[in-house]
Structure 1
Amino acid sequence: MAARQRGRYLVNALGVTTLDAVSSLFHGGNANVSWERALDGLSGEQAHLVPAGLPHSVAGIVAHVAYWQTYLLAVFAGDDPPAVEHAAQGWPDQARQVQPDSDPATSDPVNSDPVETDWEALKLIFFSGLDTLAAHARDEAFLELLDRKGRPRIVPLTSFAGHGLYHLGQVVTVRQLIGAWPPPGGGDTW
């Protein structure tokens, strides 16, 4: 079954375009558990647990990806957000990082931003960003526009999709380490 051309993009025999394939990566793609499944059934307390020896909780990882989603969407909207000087600046402080043997009730918030303190709000912002980026990845006219570095927008979109998949794997690993895997709806267990 040969692929055929639709504009500048390939379409396979099933009618799936390269744009569809890139778009699906924002939610996890076909070879991975989805972000929705990876976060399913995780309480706010579990989301903020930091496994021993690791630097981030699931909430910290999701906040990081959401931070860069917001940044990329701002760039696409024509804004010029400042670049971070250090990688740590792309990891928003978590309101409540809970060590596995600590008492969450006595953990002090590092900051009071509701996005960082409310797991459900963070997930809503995160999934909204995923949906927007996935829609952009299917929009041929949008992709033809150049980004501020002079590249077609499919370049940063594809790069960011890879960034998200990298961190999706981290979320699964953190959930395994805190004993919260598989999620209620099931997930890969190998």
Structure 2
Amino acid sequence: MANKDDAALRKHLVEVLTGGHAHATFEQAVKGLPVELQGKVPKGAEHSPWQLLEHLRIAQLDILEFSRDSKHESPQWPEGYWPKEKAPADDKAWDKSVRAFRKDLKAMVALIEDEKTDLFAKIPHGDGQTILREALLAADHNAYHVGQLVLVRRLLGAWN
């Protein structure tokens, strides 16, 4: 049985991955963006909402798979982490990417919540990384790029 500190740490990790608290959540950042703006790069920005969404999805999946699969091979940096296309291929691609992000986030949360997961043990196929480090990396990376997505939406006039 996990001790009280272990349970508290797991709870805090899940909250930092999913809760928002000090910043917009992923759900808020992707909700209600008009299809015609998903592929637009506003003046002063480097990426479209689509490129940011796909980058979030690809990077989170890479962190998740690295955390749980010794055979996982990461994409080439940086080109493998960013889509070349500014816009989704079709009207369904945005929702498909959002669903995939949610699914992978749910899997990362399940890994963290699993009491059999030693958050502090070094990942055998890594270079000193732990599940704790990977969870914090995912949370930090997601928060950063969700913030970018909010900024791009503001520049496009599509943020409340």
What TM-score does the superposition give when structure 1 sets the normalisation length?
0.70
Contact in 2 for aligned 1:64/1:92 (Cα 8 Å):
yes
Task: State whether structure 2 residue 130 is matched by structure 1 residue 162.
Answer: no
The match for 2:101 among 118, 122, 126 is 126
Q: Could you list the per-position Cα deviations for residues 100-122 of structure 1 after superposition, in whole angstroms to 9, with x for gaps in the alignment?
A: xxxxxxxxxxxx6x7x9711111
The match for 2:24 among 33, 36, 50 is 33
Higher helix share: 2
- The structure that has the greater radius of gyration is 1
Partner residue in 2 for 1:108: none
Partner residue in 2 for 1:177: 155
1:47–1:25 Cα change, 3 Å:
farther
Task: State whether structure 2 residue 5 is matched by structure 1 residue 9.
Answer: yes
Contact in 1 for aligned 2:62/2:74 (Cα 8 Å):
no
Runs of 5+ unmatched residues, structure 2: none
The match for 2:60 among 47, 65, 69 is 69
1:25–1:157 Cα change, 3 Å:
same
Q: Secondary structure at the match of 1:19?
A: helix
Aligned ranges 1:98-113 → 2 under 5 Å: none
Partner residue in 1 for 2:87: 96
Runs of 5+ unmatched residues, structure 1: 1-5, 12-16, 98-111, 183-190
Q: Could you list the per-position Cα deviations for residues 136-171 of structure 1 after superposition, in whole angstroms to 9, with x for gaps in the alignment?
A: 222232244532224331111111210110111101
Higher RCO by CA contacts (8 Å cutoff, separation 6 or greater): 2
Dislocated runs of 4+, deviation >4 Å: none
1:92 Cα deviation after fit: 2.0
Q: Distance in 2 between matches of 1:28 and 1:47?
A: 24
Aligned residue pairs: how many?
Answer: 155
What TM-score does the superposition give when structure 2 sets the normalisation length?
0.82
- Once the two structures are aligned, what percentage of the paired residues are identical? 25
